[in-house]
A and B are shown apart, each in its own frame.
Chain A
Amino acid sequence: MEKVAIIGHGDRFDALAGLLAANGKTPVMWNHDGRARRHLPKNVELIELEALREHHLIFLSLPINEMRKVSRQVGDHITGRHAIVHLARNLEHTSLKTVSELLSEETPTRRTGFLTGPMREEDISQGHAASGVCATVFPEVHELVGEALVSSSFRMYRTHDIIGAELAAAYCRVIAMGCGVLSELGLGQSLQATLFSRGLAEMGRFVAHRGGKERTTFGLAGSGNLFIDIAAPGSDDFRIGAAAMRLNKFDRKSVIKEYGSRGADLLELIESLAALRQNKRLALHLLETCHLMVSAEMGPAAAVQHLMSLPTLDD
């Protein structure tokens, strides 16, 4: 049977490799940036870029700033028969295009999918159960991803709303940062729950505004991701928020120093999304507040005060 191909690095990439291993699969991997073997997952067989032609299901898990370049390289060697499934929880900075939009610009295939959800690498490596949602409009892609990943410890849900899932999964990161700020205040769990819930409502407005389905927000791509992001010890985004609160200032340099490209990634995402602040009907108050913090216009403590003073919205 044909082996699936994987490309990428990072936590989600490691989680994916873990899921494949748990399901008894040995994937092939194109080592796109020539990493040392010790940094690669154990159960992979390395191949050259050209050999991707022979592997028709490709998983791509990369930071957003590498995505366009790498997918164009991949696009040179694949056909309309291939399926590409990505795991990136981000939007292209400035253009705010989703990764599936970017893939359809850079590769010849239309068969794209997005895999996301509460599948933390630590859980998978310890053999704990996890779940994810595969978003694609192509039933065949659902089927193939299911065959590759579903095991007794991994449940896979399906949705057709790929745009909605991509938007929700990215927007969660902003809310997670906000939750991180709040977590340091010691104001109790009620306020955390409020932020969690109002964050989802805001995310729903954003998703619907950009052409996704609001209800996708309340599935694994939205609430599932947000829950795992803020559950202890918290995602990088959550921890960046918490650290800012401890210092009561948002120091860009120290964020990037401590979290590297993952920190820069979050800051750029918030800055790009901030273009939507002007849209009063969308009422993206949490995004707006996070942006005020990131751009150092408001300290974290003042930002929380600011949020508390905003009028409540009727659902």
Chain B
Amino acid sequence: MLGFESTQETQIFMKKDAPLFRFNAERPHLVSEVTRRVFADYLGRSRTSSSHALEYVLNETAFQELERLRLETGPEDEIRPREWWKATARSLSEMSEDEKREILRGLVESYTDDTAGRFEPRVFRFASGVLPVGLSFLFKTQDVRHLPGAQDLAETVKHVRDLEERVEVQGPVDQLRRLAKTGTLVVVPTHSSNMDSILLGWALEQVGLPPVTYGAGKNLFANPLTGYFMHNLGAYKVDRRIKHELYKDVLKSYSQVLLENGYHSLFFPGGTRCRSNVVEDRLKLGLLGTAVTASIRNLQANKYRPIYICPVTLNYNLILEAESLIREHLRREGGARYFLENDEFNQISTVIRFVLNTVRMDASTVIRFGQPHDVFGNRVEDDGESYDARGRRVDPLEFIRSVKTGEVIEDAARDREYTRFAGTRIASEFRRNTVVMSSAVVAFSLFELLANRFPNLDVYQLVRLNFEETIPWHELRSTIAETVGDIRDLGRLGKVQLSGAVASGSIDQIMDQGVRGLTMFHIPAAIEYVPSGVRINKVDLLLFYGNRLRPFGLDARDILARAKV
């Protein structure tokens, strides 16, 4: 199913040249460079502005950490324990400037060292593919007898090697391989699941693209399933609990230094996993902004190497964490009208079922790369050159020259605007490269049919419906037919992509595939077969999967009218 067979030649190229393979050798240099920069920045600011005095910075940092540690209950490993912060905060007023500097430098170094991951090339096995090997390893190391769902395990491990049959990689992969040789890739994916970075890491390797480094939540390092990969695949650690500026500056600087040194990187521009499942359009641009700054710094140091932004959509038919994601979305949007429960990803039995159900499913997961762009939001064509909206070739360096003098300069406000613009290009690539799966079509149709039955209920009331509604087959079928018709029209205009079934399957095939997925995957099932039609158990899951179609302007009322419901 893969668009590209990874050849030995490519693998040799990668092994030799992929920057991540020099990470271990360069790690001490990277850590000391990040430490030096962040420390120098803070020291510089403390000299020019009294509100940035070291005492103030350290005091504020200690205050925020003490507040956090007062509320944190888990036995997580802390970079600096509560006692250390207490002692530091108490003695700050009596410290000399030299002592404060030493404390700050030590702190920055610890944060940087904690952030910098390790990359283990031996684990990055090429021949057999990382994910199957890793998952087998994981399952062997678990005491599976005590796990619920263990009886399915043997079958899971057997199927897991079929993964590449289930994952389809689409888009300009050849072009990206060429760009990886001449420049640095920044892969920016949509984010739905904790599986994303693992799956994407695996897919990059499968299509002959170099491995990427990326920031992953510290919780993923602690999770037995994901931790194994995180430690070894070039992930660096991000502790989302730490909120103070000093830590955020370390992370930003770390990301920037990696880019300056040519490390292919991955950012999730949506920030965290997308709660609503609507294709992300509000992007967090902080890390993306480091790409502009890295370009300028390299140019000023006469070692320019272009940075290419590579949008990619991850399209699952079904998502492991769907239920808790949509609940959190509803809670955020609906406030007191909603509650939050546990995340499925922490339940190993759920993870096993996820893997098993995924490999049993007919529908593939589609990883689709969009058009690469430069950091200023110009699209990059096959030749590696940048082109503007009217197809004129442009020199990206001109964007960072001063209008007046022509010198390459940093300009924070200007560069923010470039990043914002690049963000709008990424969001539009996300939309254009969204692959519509049968589950989304079926969930959208069911949700709209239900909403149509209760025109006076809002979304929050609908998802809390306490009785089970049955949608007759003929209503569902005709609604799916109209939805598919509209989606195919959008597909023809290039506004969205369609999975194989949605593109060319019969309405019955699409309905069958979608209904089966929604029946099998979640426990309790989102919907159930009954003789007269489909019974709806979990309205929130239908909302979640159907949300994938929301940005495309489908007119639900019109669809239902045409379906004669």
Bound pair: A and B? yes
Q: Which residues in A have some Cβ–Cβ distance to B below 8 Å?
A: 2, 56-57, 72, 75-76, 79-83, 104-108, 110-111, 137-141, 144
Q: Which residues in B have some Cβ–Cβ distance to A below 8 Å?
A: 376-378, 388-390, 392, 394-396, 398-399, 401-404, 406, 411, 413-414, 416-418, 421
CB pair A139–B411 under 8 Å, yes or no, is: yes
CB pair B376–A140 under 8 Å, yes or no, is: no
CB pair A138–B413 under 8 Å, yes or no, is: yes
> Which residues of the partner chain A approach B389 to less than 8 Å between Cβ atoms?
104-106
Q: Given A81-B401, A111-B403, list of 13 further CB < 8 A pairs?
A: A56-B403, A79-B395, A81-B398, A81-B399, A82-B403, A110-B399, A110-B417, A110-B418, A111-B414, A138-B411, A138-B413, A141-B403, A144-B403
Contact status of A144 and B395, CB under 8 A, knowing A75-B390, A138-B413? no
Partner of B403, one of A57, A75, A76, A137: A57
Bound complex: CA A82 to CA B413 (Å):
16
Bound complex: CA A144 to CA B404 (Å):
8
> Which residues of the partner chain B approach A75 to less than 8 Å between Cβ atoms?
388, 390, 392
Main SS of the interface on chain A? loop
CB distance from A50 to the nearest CB of B (A): 14
CB pair A80–B404 under 8 Å, yes or no, is: no
Bound complex: CA A33 to CA B272 (Å):
53
CB pair A80–B417 under 8 Å, yes or no, is: no
> Which residues of the partner chain B approach A141 to less than 8 Å between Cβ atoms?
403
Closest 8 CB pairs of A and B: A80-B399, A79-B398, A80-B398, A108-B388, A81-B398, A81-B401, A108-B394, A56-B403
Interface centre among A56, A57, A82 (most CB of B within 10 A): A56
Bound complex: CA A104 to CA B388 (Å):
9
Interface centre among B394, B396, B404, B406 (most CB of A within 10 A): B404
CB pair B392–A76 under 8 Å, yes or no, is: yes
Q: Which residue of B lies closest to A139 (CB)?
A: B413
Bound complex: CA A195 to CA B413 (Å):
38
Bound complex: CA A83 to CA B394 (Å):
15
Bound complex: CA A82 to CA B403 (Å):
6
> Which residues of the partner chain A approach B399 to less than 8 Å between Cβ atoms?
80-81, 110
> Which residues of the partner chain A approach B416 to less than 8 Å between Cβ atoms?
137
CB pair B376–A110 under 8 Å, yes or no, is: yes
> Which residues of the partner chain B approach A56 to less than 8 Å between Cβ atoms?
403-404
Bound complex: CA A259 to CA B392 (Å):
38
Contact status of A106 and B417, CB under 8 A, knowing A56-B404, A80-B399, A81-B401? no
Bound complex: CA A72 to CA B406 (Å):
23
CB pair B403–A140 under 8 Å, yes or no, is: yes
CB pair B414–A139 under 8 Å, yes or no, is: yes
CB distance from A109 to the nearest CB of B (A): 8
> Which residues of the partner chain B approach A2 to less than 8 Å between Cβ atoms?
404
CB pair A79–B394 under 8 Å, yes or no, is: yes
List 25 contacting pairs A-B, 8 Å CB cutoff, sorted by A.
A2-B404, A57-B403, A75-B388, A75-B392, A76-B392, A79-B398, A80-B376, A80-B396, A80-B398, A80-B399, A80-B401, A81-B399, A81-B403, A81-B406, A83-B403, A104-B389, A104-B421, A108-B394, A110-B421, A111-B414, A138-B411, A139-B413, A140-B404, A144-B403, A144-B404
CB pair A80–B403 under 8 Å, yes or no, is: no
> Which residues of the partner chain B approach A144 to less than 8 Å between Cβ atoms?
403-404
Bound complex: CA A144 to CA B405 (Å):
11
> Which residues of the partner chain B approach A105 to less than 8 Å between Cβ atoms?
389-390
CB pair B392–A138 under 8 Å, yes or no, is: no
CB distance from B459 to the nearest CB of A (A): 20
CB pair A137–B413 under 8 Å, yes or no, is: yes
Interface centre among B396, B406, B413 (most CB of A within 10 A): B413
> Which residues of the partner chain B approach A110 to less than 8 Å between Cβ atoms?
376-377, 399, 417-418, 421
CB distance from B560 to the nearest CB of A (A): 22
Q: Which residue of A lies closest to B420 (CB)?
A: A137
CB pair A140–B392 under 8 Å, yes or no, is: no
CB distance from B249 to the nearest CB of A (A): 23
CB pair A140–B411 under 8 Å, yes or no, is: yes
Bound complex: CA A139 to CA B414 (Å):
7
CB pair A108–B392 under 8 Å, yes or no, is: yes
> Which residues of the partner chain A approach B418 to less than 8 Å between Cβ atoms?
110
CB pair A106–B394 under 8 Å, yes or no, is: no
Interface centre among A79, A108, A138 (most CB of B within 10 A): A108
Bound complex: CA A76 to CA B394 (Å):
10
